[in-house]
């Protein structure tokens, strides 16, 4: 704290005679702090005792790891994966079987677990044993090595919730317009050629996420075998251009990559108005009527 104060005061004094001196000092301070944080994080192994170490989570992304010889990288990578995803699997399982049954028994609601991203190997089997539904988001495949860049909706099992987006990722419109390359590849899949990238087999991907694009995505999710298809209100409202007029990024709920982000999303249409909008209601009914499961 003393170093930070001294550093900041120095740059404020140096910049007193020019406009924007304070902003320059703040920018410089942030740059230095970012550099120091990267040095602190550039660690592969953490010491447990004099002669024993364990891998630091995420060490495979550090500069230190990338500077190692290939055979050492393979050894460290194997040690890292075994330590975090296999060695402690029995501990995760035993703790889960102590805690989760009580949570499931505390309600008569259907329970869904957020099982995306990096998870211990025991998670799928424990959830299945306890009757907890999994979550599937197409652009975040549960096993990218098998499914590719996008989840295969036709292969979704029954005991999951299928959703095109959720509070922790961008809604359909915002994602489509922010990540044009990936949305173009998804369009190839939606167009029926399996996402092979053969652009001559399908029309070019729309740059704007028009209602017909959202409808195609929702239809594909509704056609899956998942027992539930739940989409955020933003994705349903994107079926109607008059509800999709505001900037798409304003519909984001949470940004988990930004620790300073706070939830400020508000639905910009009163529920009473949606209830009276027969055209919108008919659009939703037409889609949900396709659901046979």
Q: How would you write the pLDDT of the chain (293 residues) with one tens digit per residue?
A: 545 554 555 454 444 545 556 788 888 888 888 888 878 778 888 888 888 888 898 888 888 899 889 999 999 999 998 888 888 899 999 999 999 999 999 999 999 999 987 788 899 999 999 999 999 999 988 765 566 789 999 999 999 999 999 999 999 999 999 999 999 999 988 876 543 344 446 678 888 999 999 999 999 999 999 999 999 999 999 999 999 999 999 999 999 888 888 888 999 999 999 999 999 999 999 999 988 65
pTM score: 0.75
Task: Confirm if 177 and 170 have CB atoms less than 8 A apart.
Answer: no
Contact (CB, 8 A) for 163 and 229: yes
pLDDT digits (tens, 9 = 90+) for 178-190: 999 999 999 988 8
Per-residue model confidence as pLDDT tens digits over 128-146 = 999 999 999 999 887 655 6
- Indicate the domain borders of the chain: 2-67, 133-288
Please give the pLDDT value at position 192.
67
pLDDT of 38: 78
Rounded CA separation 28/8 (Å): 9
Q: Fill in the DSSP letter of residue 263.
A: -
- Cα 224 vs. chain centroid, distance in angstroms? 21
End-to-end alpha-carbon separation of the chain, Å? 59
Residue with tokens 């079926």: 239
pLDDT computed for residue 249 by the predictor: 92
pLDDT of 23 reads 80
């Amino acid at each position: 704290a003393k170093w930070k104060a001294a550093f900041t005061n120095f740059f404020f004094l140096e910049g007193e005679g020019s406009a924007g001196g304070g902003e320059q000092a703040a920018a410089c301070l942030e740059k230095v702090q970012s550099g120091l944080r990267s040095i602190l994080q550039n660690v592969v192994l953490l010491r447990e005792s004099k002669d024993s170490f364990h891998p630091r989570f995420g060490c495979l992304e550090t500069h230190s790891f990338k500077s190692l010889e290939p055979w050492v990288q393979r050894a460290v990578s194997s040690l890292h994966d075994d330590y975090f995803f296999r060695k402690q699997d029995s501990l995760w399982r035993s703790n889960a079987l102590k805690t989760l049954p009580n949570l499931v028994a505390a309600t008569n609601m259907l329970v869904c677990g957020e099982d995306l991203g990096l998870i211990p190997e025991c998670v799928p089997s424990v959830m299945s044993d306890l009757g907890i539904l999994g979550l599937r988001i197409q652009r975040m495949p549960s096993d990218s090595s098998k499914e590719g860049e996008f989840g295969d909706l036709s292969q979704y099992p029954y005991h999951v919730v299928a959703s095109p987006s959720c509070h922790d990722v961008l809604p359909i419109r915002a994602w489509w317009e922010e990540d044009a390359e990936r949305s173009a590849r998804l369009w190839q899949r939606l167009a029926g050629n399996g996402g092979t990238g053969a652009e001559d087999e399908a029309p070019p991907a729309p740059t704007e996420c028009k209602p017909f694009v959202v409808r195609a995505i929702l239809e594909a999710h509704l056609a899956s075998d998942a027992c539930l298809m739940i989409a955020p209100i933003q994705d349903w409202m994107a079926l109607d251009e008059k509800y999709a007029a505001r900037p798409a990024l304003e519909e984001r709920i949470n940004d988990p990559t930004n620790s300073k982000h706070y939830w400020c999303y508000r639905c910009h249409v009163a529920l009473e108005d949606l209830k009276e909008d027969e055209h919108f209601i008919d659009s939703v009914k037409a889609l949900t009527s396709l659901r046979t499961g």
